[in-house]
Amino acid sequence: MTSEKSNKNVPARPRSESPATEYSDEKALREALERARNKVKPITVRETESDTTSEEALHFRLKGQ
Amino acid sequence: MTSEAEIEQTSVSTIKVQSFSTDLTSLFRQPKGVVEYGWPPIQIQYLGEYLGQLGCRSIVVESHYIDRDYIDDVALFYSRSLRGYPNFCQRMHFFAAELNDEGIRNMLREAARDHPSGLSRIESELQRSYLGYSVIRPLPGSPIGRTVLKTFGPESKEGFQRNFSATRKYRVHLCGLALEVTGLAFQQQDRGVSACATTALWCALHKVAPMEELRLVTPAEITEAASRYFLPGGRALPSEGLTVEQLCEATRAAGLAPLHVRATSYLGDRAQLLTYLSSGFAPVLAIKTPGGEGHAICAVGYKLGTVDPQGEADLVYRDGATALKGLYVHDDRLGPYASADLLARTQPDGKKIKTELRIRWPQQPVEFEQSLLVSLIVPVPSKLRLSAYRMRELGLGVAQWTGTVIPGVAREVVLNCRFQKGTTYKRLAYSFGLTDEGAYALVSELNLSRYVGVIELLHGDRPLFDVLLDSTETTANPAVLACVRRSAMPDASKNQFNKMAEILGGRPIW
């Protein structure tokens, strides 16, 4: 767990890119969440694609030396 | 005919002190004849090397030790052999201090004469230099039995942060003195009762079973449970390895749930490994060796470097899983806490990138083997139904959302996921600097599942907020219990934070 006191190595950030108050109402926030989830969808899809089928993986024999 | 004197002998034990040398071969008897896998076994060489790195200087040998795991192997297998295998082992205790027979005698005398202060003084003195123990089985060629050793310190030679999260405290008794060592049990496969898969699962269960107050199963019990219903490889004994399916069955028989996760991508695999390891679970890794054989090892810890910057232009968060640089594994062909670097290996078709493990000797650049990760089998408590993948699926969206809507954090939001006991989380929450109302609501009004999923969002390395999930649910979406404000969350974002919590379906804790 990250400590509350740990504040070293925080990278400097350009404040200019901060969104201001445009996300203060619930509708805008909900839409932003939907957009965010769509943006990361390719990553989550990629993380379900295995080139081993479930059957193959379950029958894989672990024999060692 | 066995004489009474011979029977009596089994109840006589001796304690002997020996100086340590990294070449431990002289302490083991070489089996007669041609030794199939060569002599000395690589595990003995590794053990000597590892103990040398820990600063070992003395070994105290108990000549007669009844080991619960080995005696079960004897009952199931060795007792029916023509050769009369003893039912007892030796046990070696390793110390960083210079000890000798006379010194140990004096210590025991002092503990008895000056009781109780002398006893605790001697215990403290030995504890300071205690490095752990190894049970030596009377099995030719595979003598290394249950071995629990201290781990290396918190920083690796490359400057990575080490975390041996899947270790626990073991209480040890030597001449009635109580000692402790924090580590995870390791042993060598004996090729009779257990192969690599049995020993890897046995290691993993040594961590997870006590978390759930379950009894520890022995290798013999694992092999029996694994082959009760499935015998895809023919006979169960002598063991010629287990399939992943059999490992799952043995995990279930031990009272835990086997979570089987197939390897997908370099980033996805690192995310799975980091989530389960940082939660204190010990995943069994099914790997494919360069020869195409299957092998099982147990992950015990991990190495963290820095989090990579986001590489995709329209994503505004960083993935904490990119900090995972390597693992520490119990590999029964080698030894405990072997270093395994994680690398991306592009497949010959050029499309797929798989996760490669480069297993090394302790603190040395010498590589032992390069293998590919095939899948993980994570023994988890049966009520932990939410998977790391589901938690991460929600976490990625929330991280991107946070980078978009919270001012000043874009492209510096870091996502981490883990499971944690609800009681532990509540205890830690006292240090979060919450408002009086927030702290009271969290610790006394919020019902948490035994294990909670924690999606942690940070700004750099300072915590912004946590999303707490009920891990008894199967999907992350309806499972949000609360959003908990952490110290780096700007005061000005309180309204947004409260609304975000409501949208996620959880209680805002500020």
pLDDT tens digits, A2-61: 555 544 444 444 444 445 457 878 899 999 999 999 999 999 998 988 878 888 889 898
Q: By percentage, how much of chain B surpasses pLDDT 90?
A: 82
Does the pLDDT at position B385 exceed 90? yes
A29/B241 touch (CB, cutoff 8 Å), yes or no: no
Q: Which helix (H) or strand (E) holds B72?
A: helix B68-76
The reply to whether omega before B238 is within 30° of 0 (cis) is yes
**H or E element at residue B49:** helix B42-54
- Residues of chain B neighbouring A13 (CB-CB closer than 8 A): 408-412
Q: What is the pLDDT of residue A12?
A: 45
Instruction: Give tens-digit pLDDT for B183-234.
Output: 999 999 888 888 899 999 999 999 999 999 999 999 999 999 999 888 877 8
- Give me the residue label for tokens 């910057």: B309
Query: pLDDT tens-digit profile of B77-102?
Result: 999 999 999 999 999 999 999 999 99
pLDDT of B285 > 50? The answer is: yes
- Segment B105-134 shows an average pLDDT of 96
pLDDT for position A49:
87
CB contact under 8 A, B245 and A59: yes
Chain B residues with CB-CB distance to A60 below 8 A: 243-244, 286, 294, 374-375
CA distance A42 to chain B (A): 11
- Closest-CA residue of B relative to A49 is B264
Q: Would you call A4 and B411 a contact, using CB atoms and an 8 Å cutoff?
A: no
Say whether B241 and A63 touch across the interface (CB within 8 A): yes
Mean of pLDDT over chain B: 93
The ipTM value here is: 0.84
- The order of strands in the sheet holding B413-421 is B317-319, B413-421, B451-459, B462-470, B480-485, B507-509
Mean pLDDT to the nearest integer, B54-70: 97
pLDDT tens for each residue of B274-284: 999 999 999 99
Q: Is B318 within 8 Å of B414 (Cβ atoms)? A: yes
pLDDT tens, residue by residue, B462-492 = 999 999 999 999 887 779 999 999 999 999 9
Each residue's pLDDT tens digit, B402-453: 999 999 999 999 999 999 999 999 999 999 999 999 999 999 999 999 999 9
pTM of the model: 0.93
Task: Determine contact: B486 vs chain A, CB below 8 A.
Answer: yes
Give the nearest partner residue to B389 out of A15, A47, A58, using CB atoms.
A47
Alpha carbon B486 to its chain's center: 29
